[in-house]
């Protein structure tokens, strides 16, 4: 969908264009930038290049593979045709999800993340864009996914087909507890249930499994994990340095998965 006039975009060779002659070229890396200047609040919104590279390096180690597999299995069960991944980042989950659907769009506000994603899978339509204006037409999507990303409720309701699905993945209360204990004087449990309260008016909660993954990290991967989380800039520098000096650590990642259906 054109972010300026909200008309349908069609692809001709390497340019997306609408009937009002707004056009957007596909970059050589294979993504399109639909984050128009009037929607921007900063020059380079979203994740930093350092955070993107750290996440790419960490996730490629397979530590979160149980979550990736659980998400893929559910998409297979639902027999989804059109999927929109909101906050796709560098594409680790989107890449796996695309294998199960006919059409997959990955959108993220961070251009540097989408540039990395576009190199992994040419069958995804990769978009730099904002959740405030999701880049697809009304009622065109069977499943929206938001893994550790914002949930623009009104836009999700607009783009989902009637009885379409929304999958939200967020940290469960004890996610990476040992790491947070090392970084903070006081550890506050994550509160995944707030998303249920936010969405219950327009969605029915169908399933709420927790997926866990336990692993041992060596120093380099521990540094990547810290760098890719919000804990990196919330922790005191001396606590982060002390943690990063550990040669090994055992951690348990705990993910709350919610599957909703549009009422």
What are the binding residues for Zn(2+)?
Answer: 2, 5, 18, 22
Which H or E run includes 249?
A: strand 248-262
| Pairwise CA distance, residues 254 & 229, whole Å | 14
- Binding-site residue numbers are 2, 5, 18, 22, 64, 90-91, 175
Q: Nearest to residue 169, comparing CAs of 74, 260, 69, 255?
A: 255
Contacts of 230 (CB under 8 A, 6+ apart): none
Nearest to 7 by CA among 117, 137, 192, 173: 137
Helix, strand, coil percentages for the chain (3-state, nearest 5) = 35, 30, 35
Burial (CB < 10 A; 0-12, 13-18, 19+), residue 142, is buried
Binding residue positions for S-adenosyl-L-methionine: 64, 90-91, 175
């Amino acid at each position: 969908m054109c972010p300026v006039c909200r008309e349908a975009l069609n692809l001709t060779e390497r340019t997306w264009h609408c009937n009002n002659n707004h056009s957007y070229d596909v970059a050589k890396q294979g993504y399109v930038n639909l984050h128009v200047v009037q929607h921007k609040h900063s020059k380079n919104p979203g994740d930093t290049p350092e955070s993107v590279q750290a996440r790419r390096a960490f996730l490629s180690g397979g530590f979160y593979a149980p979550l990736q597999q659980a998400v893929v299995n559910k998409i297979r069960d639902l027999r989804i045709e059109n999927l929109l991944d909101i906050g796709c980042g560098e594409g680790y989950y989107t890449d796996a999800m695309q294998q199960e659907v006919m059409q997959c769009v990955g959108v993220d506000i961070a251009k540097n993340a989408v540039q990395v994603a576009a190199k992994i899978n040419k069958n995804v339509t990769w978009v730099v864009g904002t959740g405030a204006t999701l880049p697809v037409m009304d009622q065109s999507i069977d499943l929206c996914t938001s893994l550790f990303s914002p949930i623009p409720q009104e836009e999700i309701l607009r783009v989902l087909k009637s009885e379409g699905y929304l999958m939200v993945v967020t940290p469960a209360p004890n996610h990476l507890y040992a790491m947070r204990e090392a970084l903070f004087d006081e550890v506050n449990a994550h509160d995944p249930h707030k998303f249920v309260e936010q969405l219950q008016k327009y969605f029915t909660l169908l399933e709420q499994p927790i997926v866990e993954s336990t692993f041992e990290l060596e120093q380099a991967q521990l540094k990547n994990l810290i760098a890719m989380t919000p804990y990196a800039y919330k922790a005191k520098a001396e606590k982060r340095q002390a943690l990063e000096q550990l040669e090994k650590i055992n951690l348990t990642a705990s993910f709350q998965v919610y599957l909703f259906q549009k009422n």
